[in-house]
Structures are given as C-alpha cells and as structure tokens.
Chains A and B, each alone.
Chain A
C-alpha cells in the first residue's frame, strides 16, 4: 500500500493490530507445547521455591523403624509417607521436593555460566572474524573433541564431587552450542545496515555488541539455553548416579536412583519416582524450548 500517513488510516491500523505484548501472550497460549512446558516448569519451580513449607517431613531425617515403606497406592502404604520411604527411612516425597531445588539450581546456573562463556566467545568470533574467529574455532573444536561425561567424571574424581564442582564443571563444559549459535548469528548481523549505522555514528564497541547485536540474537540463544538446562540436569543426574556428582545425603534425583538401584527388582518405585520426575522436568524444558523456537522464528515480534 502507500505510505499511509493520513491520521485516519494509521488510527485504523492501530485498532486492527493489538499491541505486541497481547499478540505474544496469545501466540503463547496458542502454542500448546509452550503452554504445557511452561505450566510444568512453573509448578516445579514453585514447589522448589516453597520446599521447606511443602515437604511433609525433613528430607534428611532417618527413621530406621520405617524403612522401605511403599507409596500410598500399595496395600501396605500409608498417607504418613505418601511416596514411601527409602532404605534409611527418609520420606521419599520430601526428598523428591528438595531434589527439585538441586536439579533446577544446577540446570539454571550451568546454563548461565556456559551461556556467558559461549555467547561471549561466539559473538566476538562472529563480529571480528579473522584471527579472533580462528582462536575461538580452535577452542571450540578442542572442546567438542572432549567427551563431557568422561571429562566431568575425571575432573570430579580429582577435585572431589560436590554440588559446586558439578555446577562449575558442567558450566565450563557445556558452552559449545552457545558459541556455535552466537557465532553464526553474529556473522549474519555483522554486515546488517543497522550495525553499520551504529559504527558510522562512532558507537563504542560494547554498545554495538550489547545493544545492537545481542538483542537480535537473543531469541536463538534462549532456545539453546533451554536445551542446555535440560542437558545439565540430565548430566548432573548421571554424575550423581555414578557417585561423582552431588554427594549423599543430598536429595539429588540422580543420587536417589543410584541409591535405589539395589532394590529396583522388588521395590521398583524407588527408582521410577525420581526417574519419572526427571523425565517430566526434562520433557517440560524441551517442550518450552520447542515452543520458544516457534515463537522466535521469522514473524515473532517483527512480522
């Protein structure tokens, strides 16, 4: 159409197109996987935050008189321990609730650390190209050549496993996807005319990178971040299962599975309950990531 500058035409246009916030909200609700993922993660987040008030028992309190009590749906189950107790008589529901804190904390902090490292490297490599790019690409291929679980296991056994070591190790290992995505997205933006306009204005480099480049690659990075949160949660569970992650008596889900593995043939719930929780959380995060990818696809906010 023409360059509609007449007041009536533009007024009509603004009536027809709702504000982008409203549109974003609507498309969120329309996107089923995003809605389901958000719902599950939000409820798990609330549970994790309110753990001390929601948990019926102290997750560390041992009660040897009530060991291996089955969950309520068993004949011998009771509502005192809705999900039963473990081999030391600790309430399983309480441990599951506190375990959500560990999983979510590790997932988020690892994604934050690795996102910071990977995005910084990727943006610098993409923006400057040349030697910087060569150095970053070298670091990236070196990192990709290392199997994460093996390196994390070796390092954890050298330093000693703990929640802090696992978080830092995974944070320092999982930045590769951030770097790859940030690098290629920045390469595409480097020659965008609005970046050139900012350069021609004499904008300082940090301004160009943080205000012109970063907001425009954030969509892709958020999708990567959700995937890395899920990845980190699974890796924490793996390392804890192998005895090199979060140490007992912490109620990590991976550790709960490890501690229950000797009983799994006769009391299968000791591993299906934390396993199911892990499955739900990772599924929800992946659904969220998929939904976000759809939202940030062309169209998104600047359709």
Chain B
C-alpha cells in the first residue's frame, strides 16, 4: 500500500502526532495505604501520516484504550502533547476536536443508545454541531446509511432490532457523518462474528479511500491488522516497543515481544494446538513495573543489562531496513535488537 497523501490541505503531512504522551492513574490511597501510581501510558511518541492506517497492537491492559481515550479528549493526559493536523488538542474545545477525530468502538451492542432510533443516533453529530437544517440533516443521514450499506428502512429502527454487523455499520455512519480527518477504531471487529468481520473491515477500507481518512486502528488481532494497516506500533506496558511498516513488523520483527506476539497468532491448521510462545503466565503488575526494560522478566533472550538500563525507542539502521524503501523508518526499544 502506498503513501496516499490527500492532495488538499496537506500543509502538514501528519494527521496525528503524539509527543511523549503519558497518563498516570492514582490507585487506592486510603488512610493507611500510600496511593499507588499506575502509568497506563508512558511517554508514547507516534506519528501517523495522513491517509494511512496505523495499527496499534498489544495485550489487554497495555494502555491501548487509555491512549484512545486521550486522543478523543475523554481523559486529559498527565503530560505530553497530542497534535492533530499539527495543532495541539490538549485543553482544546471538545466540539472543535470532535470535528477532526471520531471513535468507532469495540462493542456495537453498547455503543448505540438502545432508546434512540437509528436516524437519531446517526444524526446526533449534525444536531449537536448545528450543521444544516433538519431536512438537510435527514438527507445526510439517509446518504450516510446508504454509504455504509444499510437499507433506508433501518433509519426508523431501534438498535435492538439489528444484528451486530448492522449495528457496527450504524456506529461507522455516526463516526463519519461529520467527515472527520481521523478515526480511532478501538477493536471495531473483535465483538463480531468472524463472517462479518471481513465485511466491516472492507467497508472501513472503502470509506477510507472515499473520504481520505486516517485511521488509528487498535487491535489485538494480528490478522485484522495485517489486512488493514500501513504501519504498525506494538505496545507493551504503556510503552511503544516497536514501530515500523507492516512488512517490517510481519516479516522481520526486531523486538522479542513482537516476535512472541507474531508467534502466538492462531493458525487455522488443525492439529497444531495452541502455540506456546514461551512468555509465561502474564504481564507483570503495572503498578510495579520491572526495572530496566519492562519486558525483561518475560523475555527469552534477556541479558543482565536489560534489568538495569531502560532501552530507548530508537531508529533501526540495519542492512535489511533498506529493503523496505524510503520513508519506512522503523523504531525499536531493545538493547539486543
């Protein structure tokens, strides 16, 4: 997939830029206990070029969803900056922000208000932002429902009368009706049947081309990401441990965690059983992250220095890196990579 930079207003080629974005939560802290701090997102820096799909993968609890919430303006970051089209959004007006960035959530059963008709749900952004007359809004809702492949009749239905796939189409219509630049897809297919996942993914790709969208696609399903993403960032315990193009990550992963993730993907081949990735039970307690490299207790190739020094996310300049062409800077946070 080539870098399809949209021709218009491409002053800044980056749709989204995160600068050392962090979110720290305070936990507990009663009369006797000291409050613990949890670094859900730890100094994440990421650049998403316009018109691309950036995949963000990682285990449950690694901070993916907290990151998404900060981008959407639902949670203020503890420190760091988010730039959308080159403009900082921290402390920005939520309404102004909503014009540029919209979410598609994981669970289509909880992302639609069960007491509102589909037309109301999809038209809500237009009503809140007072875009057009009621008649124009209704026309736009019809057009949007058509674009996401829903029959006209659906407008008068309640979410309870629809299937999961149809609901997710409604959620997509709501997210795109204001023509945002950037869409945060928080695992938009993981709650759907496998047969419907492909339909929704293809719909997302079609709409991306049609509207010139940029996606930040959060997922733990590597097959989905491989199908969709131009670039990929791998998160572990609130930090990005590796970032690169899809080809780099899938063909030559550098970080041992990325390698383990790729090895853990289930194959449809019968008789293979569940792959053993040799990482042990689970990730460590995020309130007490390990010293040095956060991954070292589970790392199969850990060295003494890994528990002492924290590796920096730095650009890779190795021989095979050139094989992926220009503009494919990869970054990895590992002493040994």
Measured CB to CB, the residues of A under 8 A from B are 1-5, 7, 10, 14, 17, 20, 192-194, 196-204, 207, 211-212, 215-216, 301-303
In the complex, whether B151 has a CB less than 8 A from a CB of chain A is: yes
* 4 A-B pairs with the lowest CB-CB distances in the bound complex, closest first: A302-B160, A202-B95, A3-B165, A193-B111
**Interface contact B110-A201, CB-CB below 8 Å:** no
In the complex, whether B42 has a CB less than 8 A from a CB of chain A is: no
Q: Which of A14, A192, A203, A302 contacts B128 (CB 8 A)?
A: A203
How many angstroms from the CA of A203 to the CA of B125 in the assembled complex? 8
Measured CB to CB, the residues of B under 8 A from A are 69, 72-74, 93-98, 101-103, 105-107, 110-116, 124-125, 128-129, 149-151, 153, 158-161, 163, 165-166, 171, 174, 195-196, 199
How many angstroms from the CA of A5 to the CA of B110 in the assembled complex? 22
How many angstroms from the CA of A7 to the CA of B101 in the assembled complex? 34
Given the complex, which residues of B lie within 8 Å of A201, measured CB to CB? 95, 98, 102, 124-125, 128-129
Q: Please judge, given known A-B contacts A2-B195, A3-B199, A202-B97, whether A197 and B163 are in contact too, CB under 8 Å.
A: no
How many angstroms from the CA of A193 to the CA of B188 in the assembled complex? 12
Taking CB as reference atom, which chain A residue is nearest B165?
A: A3
Q: Which of B111, B165, B195 contacts A194 (CB 8 A)?
A: B111
How many angstroms from the CA of A1 to the CA of B74 in the assembled complex? 35
Measured CB to CB, the closest approach of chain A to B256, in angstroms, equals 34
**Interface contact A202-B160, CB-CB below 8 Å:** no
Q: Which of B94, B95, B111, B114 contacts A197 (CB 8 A)?
A: B111
Given the complex, which residues of B lie within 8 Å of A302, measured CB to CB? 114, 158-160
**Interface contact A3-B166, CB-CB below 8 Å:** yes
Q: Which of B97, B107, B128, B151 contacts A207 (CB 8 A)?
A: B128
Q: Please judge, given known A-B contacts A3-B166, A4-B163, A302-B114, whether A197 and B105 are in contact too, CB under 8 Å.
A: yes
Measured CB to CB, the closest approach of chain A to B35, in angstroms, equals 14
Given the complex, which residues of B lie within 8 Å of A5, measured CB to CB? 149-151, 166
How many angstroms from the CA of A212 to the CA of B94 in the assembled complex? 18
Measured CB to CB, the closest approach of chain B to A188, in angstroms, equals 10
Taking CB as reference atom, which chain A residue is nearest B153?
A: A10
How many angstroms from the CA of A207 to the CA of B113 in the assembled complex? 13
Taking CB as reference atom, which chain A residue is nearest B154?
A: A10
Q: Which of B98, B149, B166, B199 contacts A200 (CB 8 A)?
A: B98
**Interface contact B149-A196, CB-CB below 8 Å:** no
Give 30 pairs: A residue, B residue, CB < 8 Å, sorted on A.
A3-B196, A4-B163, A5-B149, A193-B107, A193-B111, A194-B110, A194-B113, A196-B69, A196-B72, A196-B74, A196-B103, A197-B105, A197-B174, A198-B124, A200-B101, A200-B102, A201-B125, A201-B128, A201-B129, A202-B93, A202-B94, A202-B95, A202-B128, A202-B129, A207-B128, A215-B115, A216-B113, A301-B115, A302-B114, A302-B159
